Amino acid sequence: MQASPPHPPALRAGLLGFGVVGSGTHSVLTGNRDTIRARAGCPIELTMVATRTASRARASVQADVAVLDDPMALARHPEVDVVIEAMGGTTHARACVLEAIAHGKHVVTANKALLAEHGEEIFESARARGVSVGFEAAVAVSIPIVKALREGLVANEIEWIAGIVNGTSNYVLTQMSAAGRSFADALAEAQALGYAEADPTLDVGGGDAAHKLALLAAIAFGGPPRLDAVHVEGIDGLQATDFLHARRLGHAIKLLAVAQRAEGALQLRVHPALVPRDSLLARVDGRMNGIMVKGNASGVTMYWGAGAGSRETASAVVADLVDLARARRQGAQVAVPALGFHDAALQPPRVGVFAGLCLRHYLRVALDQPEGGAQVLETLARLGVPVTQGAQGRHTLALITGEVAESRITAALDALRALDGVQVKARLRVEDLAGAADGG
């Protein structure tokens, strides 16, 4: 190691936005200043904030921090080494981030929508300009999952990722499961507690999880984020009764984001799924996030923590800043490529055909007469859909199939719907998380 100067220059950060993420970042940088400096090898100083609510920021930050109202001016300001984008949205944020990159500034952002939608353009601009784009905070905030995939598990061929990455919908599902609440009631409660937004579509519809999945897959498999390739289903169609049936069949219901490599093609999907009750993912409750990763050397590892929060997000934002400070102290610009692969090696894998997906399925069927159950089982058998578990009441049959292709289960559902006295009430995929055993 070279001898370091006694007073290494500070890394100067400019902050775009002073809402939840911005104020949290300021709070952590200020409160943990000495420890961060000791670890980074230099001070990390917030020199400038740009926000529409300048008076709020002015009241919070030290007198020597400039408060601007023009984010573009901050993005190109010569006294800023790294721009922290904490404004949210994708239009203005994109313009500011590209402007910062064009002026040779590193970027750190928690904005998954921005990177999932415009990641290819942003990462490519950063590569061309030789600056880095840090986004640890964009997925599962304080859980260092980006670093785990890009560095910690770097020796592995990643086989699959399965994550609970949206805290709002996980809170709703936990309430539906634990308290037997309807989706509407559980969502209303989450909104009353401030855990869900007035328009919850992005969370409960699966869109937010899809953004995060696109980013995780980009790092794990190499290539730009492919939001367009993510199959997305939300949790708004779930009914409380299915949580009971699932539990009796040994499963919990979670909104999963899954990236899986099978036969050379990549599957990306977000949908509610049954997971084994004894798996750790089934135990990720409330607003927490949890992500399992299967590597071909590591086996399955799992990461758990908060999925949101002001200081929790800041924990990840500041980690990206320290990475930059440490690299710069060594004379390097970019320590690790943003997506974990070097330029020439960014060859995105082929995206798989969804109809070819082969999984187990949970079905719940309402029966006018108990005899209808036999009819359902015969129909499934005739169409090549094996049944591995089932429980029938007088007017309900709940079952889990063996592995069948998506196209086959779709055909089977059509055939069931054509039966007299039988109504298909629910169909959910089952994710077995192969390899996630407890090693006993």
Residues 419-438 that bind its own copies (CB under 8 A): 437-438
303 contributes a contact to its own copies by CB under 8 A: yes
Query: Which stretches of 14-157 are DSSP H helices?
Result: 20-31, 33-40, 54-60, 71-75, 91-102, 112-129, 145-147
Task: Establish if 37 lies at the interface with its own copies (CB under 8 A).
Answer: yes
**Smallest separation (angstroms) from its own copies to the CB of 194:** 13
Q: Which two tokens stand for residue 258?
A: 């899954």
Candidates 310, 336, 332; CA nearest to 29 is 310
- Complex with its own copies: residue 7 or 394, whichever CB lies closer: 7
Closest approach, Cβ 181 to its own copies, in A, equals: 13
Number of residues that bind its own copies (CB under 8 A): 86
Please list the active-site residues: 212
CB atoms within 10 A of CB 334: 18
By CB under 8 A, what part of segment 168-197 binds its own copies? 171, 174-175
- Of 132-161, which residues contact its own copies (CB under 8 A)? 136, 142-144, 147-148, 150-157
Quote the strand ranges of 296-386, DSSP E.
299-306, 350-351, 358-367
Amino acid at 112: K
Distances (CA, A) of 316 to 24, 34, 37, 101: 11, 17, 16, 20
Task: Enumerate residues 6+ apart whose C-beta is below 8 A from 61.
Answer: 26, 46, 49, 67
The answer to whether 36 contacts its own copies (rule: CB under 8 A) is: yes
The two three-digit tokens of residue 88, written as one number: 């949210």
The 195-234 contact track toward its own copies, x by CB under 8 A, reads ---------------------------x------------
Distance CA 437, CA 440 (A): 8
Q: Which of 304, 389, 407, 425 binds its own copies (CB under 8 A)?
A: 304
Q: Which of residues 333-372 bind its own copies (CB under 8 A)?
A: 333-337, 340-343, 345
Cβ–Cβ under 8 Å, residues 10 and 43: yes
- The interface region with its own copies, picked from 65-73, 321-329, 400-408, 414-422 by CB under 8 A, is 321-329
In the set 77, 106, 112, 127, which binds its own copies (CB under 8 A)? Answer: 127
Report, in Å, the least distance between residue 65 CB and its own copies: 18
Residue 216 or 404 with smaller CB distance to its own copies: 216
Q: By C-beta, is 160 or 362 nearer to its own copies?
A: 160
Q: Nearest-5° angle of CA 401, CA 407, CA 411?
A: 75
Of 132 and 375, the one with the shorter C-beta distance to its own copies is 132
